[in-house]
Amino acid sequence: MPRFLLAGGGTAGHVNPLLSTAQELVARGHDVAVLGTPGGLEADLVPRAGFELYPVERVPFPRRPGAAMFRFPGKLLGAIGAAGRAIDAVQADAVVGFGGYVSTPAYLAARRKKVPVIVHEGNARPGLANRLGARHAAAVAATFASTPLKGAVVTGLPLRAQITELADRLHDPFAGHELRVAARESWGWPADAPTLLVTGGSTGAASLNAATAAGVERLTAHGVHVLHLTGRGKAEGAERALADLPAERRGMYVVREYVHDMENAFAAADAVVCRAGAGMVCEVTALGLPAVYVPLPHGNGEQALNAQDAIEAGAATMLADADLNATSLELAVEPLVLDRRSQEAARSAAEGIGGSDGAQRLADLIERTVSR
């Protein structure tokens, strides 16, 4: 059976799809190892998942003239050498890259050794490493149809197994209903409670937190139950808003810094307010949940592009971070939570474009590529 070296890391946006793909390839009988940085999330998550990690030092491209510019060529050569040694140790039949600092040396080392490269781009706007790797790749996969990489095959994003399983259950009318009822009851809410999930991820999002805390009085007055995940160390404003609610409505607003069982939070929700990272967009869409996306206001604009397909399909709406406040949040979310017709239209649109089989589709492409 072919052996694969998967390269990527630094952020959850690279590591999670990599691990989902690795697990799918192993389930098909392949040998898999991972190339990653010693200081990124992968240094913890990859060994914990049972895969051997070959470390390569991160070599960011200098953005301005200076001493780092002169050190860059030597560091890059060292990283390429380390990646090449990993390819030899694994006896890799192909290198599969997911972007990030470690992917560039992996692509260059593979090209030197005439080992085929498969590139997977998670975002609608590709990063520098994957733009470079795609030029000479044997195959290119993309999460979004709008990703501007020549010859890219749309596979979707390889999702966590827990999300794939949850999507299958939620799409079953009977199992999905029972799951939603159980999830809401776990928060102390009625089975039919209109429920909004607000999350800025594990690090939180200050603007989402502020708008939710400011708007929760009116949301709960209109019957909306709110599960607010603030991020670690960022619950103070939400907790003040909770204390200010009338006693009879305090049970409708649950504030947590984070939850270990994110699938239960998703299962309880009628709609989600969140950032628009590729992973979040793909998970929410695969689950068939209507969404209000609030892209990060900085960076290269990739988050707004990630959400574009869902918005055009009618599965989501977008609010600019600068426009987010209690009133705009209320106007955006209440139709998705309180109006069953609007909610079902958005949910149907999400189910029409979202897929939970990204890992299987990418593994199919990898197998086809090495069997040529």
**pLDDT tens digit string along 126-141?**
988 999 999 999 999 9
Residue 17: give its domain's CATH number. Answer: 3.40.50.2000
Q: How confident is the model at residue 262 (pLDDT cuts 50, 70, 90)?
A: very high
Domain match, 331 and 185 both: yes
Contacts of 263 (CB under 8 A, 6+ apart): 162, 163, 166
- The answer to whether the CB of 258 falls within 8 A of the CB of 229 is yes
Same domain for 247 and 177 = yes
Q: Is the pLDDT of residue 7 over 80?
A: yes
pLDDT at residue 276, as a whole number: 95
What is the domain count for the chain?
2
User: Across residues 3-15, what is the average pLDDT?
Assistant: 89
**Which pLDDT band holds residue 59 (cuts at 50, 70, 90)?**
confident
Does 219 share its domain with 94?
no
Task: Note whether 155 and 166 are same-domain residues.
Answer: no
Q: Which amino acid does the sequence have at 153?
A: V
Do 41 and 117 lie in a common domain?
yes
* 68 against 154, higher pLDDT: 154
CB-based contact 216:226 (threshold 8 Å) = yes
For the chain, give the mean pLDDT.
Answer: 92
Q: How many CA atoms lie within 13 A of 343 on its CB side?
A: 16
Confidence of residue 300 (pLDDT cuts 50, 70, 90): confident
pLDDT at 354: 74
Mean pLDDT of all residues in 22-35: 97
The answer on 248 and 152 residing in a single domain is no
Q: Which of 108, 103, 109, 105 is nearest to 87 (CA)?
A: 109
169 and 286 part of one domain: yes
- Whether 180 shows a pLDDT value over 90: the answer reads yes
- pLDDT at 352 > cutoff 80: no
pLDDT at 67: 60
Q: Quick one: pLDDT band at residue 66, thresholds 50, 70, 90?
A: low
The predicted pLDDT at position 71 comes to 66
| 153 neighbors 164 (Cβ within 8 angstroms) | no
Would you say residue 70 has pLDDT above 60?
no
- What pLDDT, on the 0 to 100 scale, is given for residue 12? 78
Confidence of residue 72 (pLDDT cuts 50, 70, 90): low
DSSP sequence for 33-100: EEEE-TTSTHHHHHHHTT--EEE----PPPSSSSHHHHHHHHHHHHHHHHHHHHHHHHT-SEEEE--S
Residue located via tokens 């609030």: 294
Asked if residue 30 and residue 72 are part of one domain, the reply reads yes
Say if residue 343 is in the same domain as residue 197: yes
Q: Are residues 124 and 176 located together in one domain of the fold?
A: no
Pair 72, 117 in one domain: yes
Residues 214-233 have a mean pLDDT of 97
Radius of gyration over every alpha carbon of the chain, rounded to an integer in angstroms: 22
pLDDT at 140: 98
Shared domain for 71 and 111, answered yes or no, is yes
Residue 368: the pLDDT is 96
**How far is 142 from 248, CA to CA, in rounded Å?**
48
- Residue 169: band (very low, low, confident or very high) from pLDDT cuts 50, 70, 90: very high
Full domain range(s) for residue 180: 161-353
Q: What pLDDT, on the 0 to 100 scale, is given for residue 190?
A: 97
